[in-house]
């Protein structure tokens, strides 16, 4: 506004001298455009190097135990230092440019003032030179007009020089904004169908119908043609070697991924036709990795059902065999856990996460049985609470210790994404197939698995997926 206003006044006072005063404006604009083009990729580089530095730091801090036990401090130091130096370098790249641009803008604006002062001063004494400026009024320059010019030109160069700050900030913000929006614009892989219905009053009938799945489009099939069903209240166990696709099969039920072929129905409705939130309300998940948020124990139990009363929390914790140890903690249910609180053992964390699921009270339960070694007593407690949790709901268990699934209504033996055997414990033992062999090894009646089987498991372990010794 100031620039435009001053320009209008200058032109109306003396067009010739106004041209001299404003000749720098196109230069300033050209300089700014050049700067914007040059600095943009450099700011983008700064943002991504900050991202890398943060990832590096987060990574080595969360893996601090591994770093220490493997004496890798020096290695991690070097990696963080390298990321930090890269950040420094990209920042310097920007600064070099900005420290050329900002004073450059001021210099140009200052030159425009000097030119006005010198040209106007000369013209006062000599009259305007002939040529393009003839007839613009420069020849009749008066002292009063000249003084006005000197004052107004100063008014006018200051805001122009300030534009450089704004341009610099703008470019910086733009680089950050592009990263943020780049992330926000990634389409969600799984989202609600516009006509998705609410899944209410879930009984818990689950059916897999010709389900095939690949993690990537045209990628390798991880599951092929899975067909089975569970009536409300049934317990279905999935067993089989690591990498067979057990976890994947159950992730599809929670709709963390969508099936590639076939369909999964809950109470006769395709999971893709119901609202995601209502599906996940109906399916509880207790995994191997139990995650607790920084906060109190009660908050962690309540997670997902934030309106639960204190009594409900205690009841859920009691059912999960967690009440007793919680009451021995310094502040009971208000004890802080996580980063700024007490550290809990693996078994205790597991029981809190079971309590969370008890409180959720889902019609369908998915249990990824923990393989981590807890003492026998804790294992017993966890097993007892899980049995209680599973009693009156449809339950899917990924079992590593076959002893825990003897009583399942249906046992599915998966191998390389296919159901290779199915039946109850007794039926499968009678078949004398893969299940019977796995059972024999775990029960100690068979010394070892067939060689070919072990070799395959080894190969699978080598190209990803932790071996679990199962």
Note the residues at the interface with ligand ADP (CB under 6 A): 215, 222, 242-248, 464-465
The distance of closest approach from Cβ of residue 53 to ligand ADP in the complex, given in angstroms and rounded to an integer, is: 27
Nearest to ligand ADP of 179, 456 (CB atom):
456
Cβ atoms within 10 Å, residue 20? 22
Cβ atoms within 10 Å, residue 358? 24
Reference 392, options 200, 203, 239, 250; nearest CA is: 203
Nearest to ligand ADP of 152, 399 (CB atom):
399
Nearest to ligand ADP of 222, 364 (CB atom):
222
CA separation for the pair 204, 263 (Å, rounded)? 16
Nearest to ligand ADP of 195, 216 (CB atom):
216
The distance of closest approach from Cβ of residue 462 to ligand ADP in the complex, given in angstroms and rounded to an integer, is: 11
CA separation for the pair 333, 311 (Å, rounded)? 11
The distance of closest approach from Cβ of residue 402 to ligand ADP in the complex, given in angstroms and rounded to an integer, is: 14
CA separation for the pair 18, 143 (Å, rounded)? 15
> How many Cα neighbours within 13 Å face the side chain of 322?
29
Residue 223, classed as helix, strand or coil, is strand
Nearest to ligand ADP of 246, 356 (CB atom):
246
Hey, which bits of 261-319 come out as E strands? 261-266, 269-270, 283-286, 295-296
Q: How far is CA 36 from CA 53, 220, 254, in A?
A: 25, 46, 48
Reference 316, options 354, 367, 368; nearest CA is: 354
Residue with tokens 């404003």: 22
Nearest to ligand ADP of 246, 349 (CB atom):
246
Nearest to ligand ADP of 94, 222 (CB atom):
222
Nearest to ligand ADP of 87, 208 (CB atom):
208
Residue 203, classed as helix, strand or coil, is coil
The distance of closest approach from Cβ of residue 245 to ligand ADP in the complex, given in angstroms and rounded to an integer, is: 4
The distance of closest approach from Cβ of residue 463 to ligand ADP in the complex, given in angstroms and rounded to an integer, is: 8
The distance of closest approach from Cβ of residue 215 to ligand ADP in the complex, given in angstroms and rounded to an integer, is: 4
Q: Which two tokens stand for residue 152?
A: 């107004």
Cβ atoms within 10 Å, residue 368? 20
Q: How far is CA 470 from CA 330, 403, 407, in A?
A: 39, 12, 19
The distance of closest approach from Cβ of residue 261 to ligand ADP in the complex, given in angstroms and rounded to an integer, is: 16
Contact (Cβ atoms closer than 8 angstroms) between residue 440 and residue 447:
no
């Amino acid at each position: 506004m100031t620039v435009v206003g001053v320009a209008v006044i200058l032109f109306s006072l003396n067009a010739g001298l106004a041209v001299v005063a404003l000749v720098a404006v196109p230069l300033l604009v050209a300089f700014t455009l050049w700067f914007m083009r040059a600095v943009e990729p450099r700011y983008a580089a700064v943002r991504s190097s900050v991202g890398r530095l943060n990832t590096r730091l987060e990574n080595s801090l969360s893996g601090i135990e591994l770093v220490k036990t493997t004496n890798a401090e020096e290695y991690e130091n070097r990696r963080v230092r390298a990321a930090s130096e890269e950040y420094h370098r990209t920042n310097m790249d920007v600064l070099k440019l900005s420290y050329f641009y900002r004073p450059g803008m001021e210099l140009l604006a200052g030159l425009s003032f000097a030119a006005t002062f010198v040209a106007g001063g000369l013209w006062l004494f000599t009259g305007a030179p002939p040529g393009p400026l003839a007839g613009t009024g420069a020849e009749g320059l008066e002292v009063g007009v000249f003084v006005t010019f000197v004052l107004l030109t100063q008014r006018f160069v200051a805001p122009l020089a300030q534009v450089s700050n704004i341009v610099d900030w703008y470019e910086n913000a733009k680089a950050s904004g592009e990263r943020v929006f780049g992330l926000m614009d990634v389409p969600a892989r799984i989202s609600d169908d516009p006509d998705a219905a609410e899944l209410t009053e879930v009984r818990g009938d689950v059916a897999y119908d010709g389900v095939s799945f690949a993690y990537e489009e045209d990628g390798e099939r991880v599951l092929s043609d899975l067909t089975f069903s569970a009536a409300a209240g049934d317990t279905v166990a999935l067993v089989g070697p690591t990498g067979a696709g057990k976890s994947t099969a159950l992730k599809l039920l929670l709709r963390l991924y969508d099936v590639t072929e076939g369909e999964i129905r809950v109470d006769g409705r395709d999971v893709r036709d119901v609202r995601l939130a209502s599906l996940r309300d109906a399916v509880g998940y207790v995994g191997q990795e139990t995650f607790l948020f920084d906060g109190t124990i009660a908050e962690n139990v309540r997670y997902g059902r934030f309106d639960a009363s204190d009594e409900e929390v205690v009841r859920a914790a009691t059912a999960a065999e967690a009440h007793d140890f919680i009451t021995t903690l310094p502040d009971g249910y208000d004890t802080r856990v996580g980063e700024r609180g007490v550290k809990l053992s693996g078994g205790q964390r597991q029981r809190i996460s079971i309590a969370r699921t008890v409180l959720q009270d889902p019609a369908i339960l998915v249990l990824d049985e923990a393989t981590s070694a807890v003492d026998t007593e804790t294992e017993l407690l966890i097993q007892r609470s899980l049995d209680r949790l599973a009693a009156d709901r449809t339950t899917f268990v990924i079992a590593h210790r076959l002893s825990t699934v003897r009583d399942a209504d249906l046992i599915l033996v998966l191998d390389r994404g296919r159901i290779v055997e199915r039946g109850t414990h007794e039926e499968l033992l009678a078949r004398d197939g893969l299940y019977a062999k796995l059972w024999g090894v775990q029960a100690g009646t068979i010394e070892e698995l067939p060689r070919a089987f072990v070799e395959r498991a080894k190969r699978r372990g080598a190209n990803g997926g932790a071996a679990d010794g199962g």
